[in-house]
Amino acid sequence: MKIHEYQAKELFKKFSVPVPRGGPAFSVEEALKVAEVIGTFPVVVKAQIHAGGRGKGGGVKLAHSLDEVKTHAKKIYGMNLVTKQTGPEGKQVNRLLVEQGCNIAKELYLSILPDRESAKIVIMASEAGGMDIEEVAEKTPEKLIKVYVDPLLGIQPFQLGEVAFGLNLPKPAIKPFKALLKNLYTLFTTYDCSLVEINPLVLTKDDDVCAIDAKVDIDSNALYRHKDVIEYRDTEEEDPLEVEASKFNLNYINLGGKGTVGNMVNGAGLAMATMDAIKAAGAEPANFLDVGGGANAESIANGFKILLSDKNIKGILINIFGGILRCDVLAQGVVQAAKETGLKIPLVVRMEGTNVEEGKRILKESGLSMITANNLKDASEKIAEAVS
């Protein structure tokens, strides 16, 4: 689960990671109120969206008076912000963060994430932080320090020193930096994060450290034990069809390309194999809906409607290996949805497994026009033919 910068900073405060004074605003008037409470200038007005690169896209502005706060807030609030990470369609800004401006001596980079290869937690840091960190990582990777932490041992004092040393910090900043990193690591493990990133972490002119940006991603599978952050979810930032699918415990993934084939499968592995087969047959998958094991006819029907509401698709492939999810239950759901929506695009069905005969009978007797397939290769060739 992604959360907003201002929410990430609330977590930072809880773990004593220093952040500038300020708070969120949900209107231009609120932005002015927050700026008044801060009481000094400059203040920063920042767009809150689930994407980075806001600075370069015009979503982060410094204000030197209340008038300027108003001008910037008016401009940013409600704007369609286009950044490298939003894609060309951009994202509408519905929330702002107003903060005290920071006295920047140097912009550093700091992040914590799981490293699959070593099965450890990796701390990444660079003294070349700021808005061009991707370029640093690509062109001068030696400027990026990596320290691997054994999750069972936790972060060790010598490792805090290793990162501090690698960042070339002035002496007075070393102690506050080590405290910050230790606390950030505790936040990372306490909340089952998949990423914590501060870019830039600012070295101030009086040799202190402060997080002026904050990104925290939390593993959605661990949310059951972090009830306090569930309210941080902002569904306005998510794909509306993915949100709709999650209401029925289905996993819908929009592949975001130029694909024309919608897919209903059970299991992520089967989804991957199906995507490959469709590509091999010369067509392009648009999305997939993983109905999992626990679906019933009702949720299948809802899932099928979600697939149909994707405007790019010209045909649907259903590829199901019935196990816990029985083929007859799937067939009932598909028939129900197709009848309610009046299916107008080609449908290819390949089913195997539990109650497959009963499933096939239900589909056949429904009178729906569909193309049946005998195996995955056959199915992908038939759908490719149908959408071409």
Question: Is position 244 an interface residue for Mn ion (rule: CB under 5 A)?
Answer: no
Burial (CB < 10 A; 0-12, 13-18, 19+), residue 258, is exposed
Q: Is 349 helix (H, G, I), strand (E, B) or coil?
A: strand
Residues that bind ligand GDP (CB under 6 A): 44, 52-55, 60, 62, 101-102, 104, 107, 130-131, 199-200, 212-213
DSSP lists the bridge partners of residue 122 as 113, 148
For residue 182, the minimal CB distance to ligand GDP (Å) is 23
Which one of 7, 194, 199, 380 is in contact with Mn ion (CB under 5 A)? 199
- Grouping H, G, I as helix, E, B as strand and the rest as coil, residue 251 is strand
In angstroms, how far is the first alpha carbon of the chain from the final one?
Answer: 37
Q: Which residue is nearest to ligand GDP (CB)?
A: 55
User: Does 5 contact Mn ion by CB under 5 A?
Assistant: no
Q: Where are the alpha helices (DSSP H) in the chain?
A: 5-14, 28-38, 54-57, 66-76, 133-139, 157-166, 171-190, 227-230, 240-247, 268-280, 297-308, 327-341, 356-365, 376-387
The CB-of-202 to Mn ion minimum distance in angstroms stands at 11
Residue 60 interacts, among Mn ion, ligand GDP, none and using kind-specific CB cut-offs from 5 to 8 Å, with ligand GDP
Active site residue 232: no
Residue where the block lists tokens 């959605």: 220
224/43 Cα distance (integer angstroms): 37
Q: Which is nearer to ligand GDP, 38 or 155 (CB)?
A: 38
Residue among 149, 145, 103, 148 at smallest CA distance from 128: 145
Strands (E), 43-166: 43-47, 60-63, 80-81, 91-92, 96-100, 104-115, 120-126, 145-149
Cβ distance to ligand GDP smaller for residue 198 or 261: 198
213 scored as a contact of Mn ion (CB under 5 A): yes
- Choose from ligand GDP, Mn ion, none: what does 381 bind? Cβ within 5-8 Å by kind: none
Task: Return the one option of ligand GDP, Mn ion, none that residue 212 interacts with (CB less than 5 to 8 A, by type).
Answer: ligand GDP
CB of 52 to Mn ion, least distance (A): 6
Q: How far is the CB of 193 from ligand GDP (least distance, A)?
A: 18
Map the footprint of Mn ion across residues 65-104, applying CB under 5 A. Answer: none
At 383 the three-state DSSP class reads helix
Nearer residue to ligand GDP within complex by CB, 23 or 55: 55
Burial zone of 84 (CB within 10 Å; 0-12 exposed, 13-18 middle, 19+ buried): exposed
* Cis preceding linkage at 346, omega within 30: no
Partner from Mn ion, ligand GDP, none binding residue 107, C-beta < 5-8 Å depending on class: ligand GDP
**C-beta separation of 125 from 137 below 8 A:** no
Question: 3-class SS at 91?
Answer: strand
Return the SS3 of 285.
strand
Point out the catalytic residue in the list 5, 107, 197, 381.
Answer: 197
197 is annotated as an active-site residue: yes
44 binds, among ligand GDP, Mn ion, none (CB under 5 to 8 A by kind): ligand GDP
Distance of CA 155 to the CA centre of its chain: 27
Q: Give which of Mn ion, ligand GDP, none residue 259 binds (C-beta under 5 to 8 Å, depending on kind).
A: none
Which one of the listed residues 6, 77, 107, 109 is annotated catalytic?
109
* Smallest separation, CB 199 to Mn ion (Å): 4
Q: Are 239 and 254 in contact (CB under 8 A)?
A: yes
How far apart CA 229 and CA 78 sit, in angstroms, is: 25
Pick the closer one to Mn ion by CB: 199 or 263: 199
Distance of CA 93 to the CA centre of its chain: 17
Answer with the entry of ligand GDP, Mn ion, none that 122 interacts with (C-beta below 5 to 8 A by kind). Answer: none
Query: Quick one: which segment of 102-110, 140-148, 199-207, 252-260 binds Mn ion (CB under 5 A)?
Result: 199-207
Site size toward Mn ion (CB under 5 A) is: 2
Shortest Å distance, C-beta 101 to ligand GDP: 4
Q: How many CB atoms lie within 10 A of CB 135?
A: 10
* Least distance from ligand GDP to the Cβ atom of residue 213, Å: 3
Active site residues: 109, 197
Residues that bind Mn ion (CB under 5 A): 199, 213
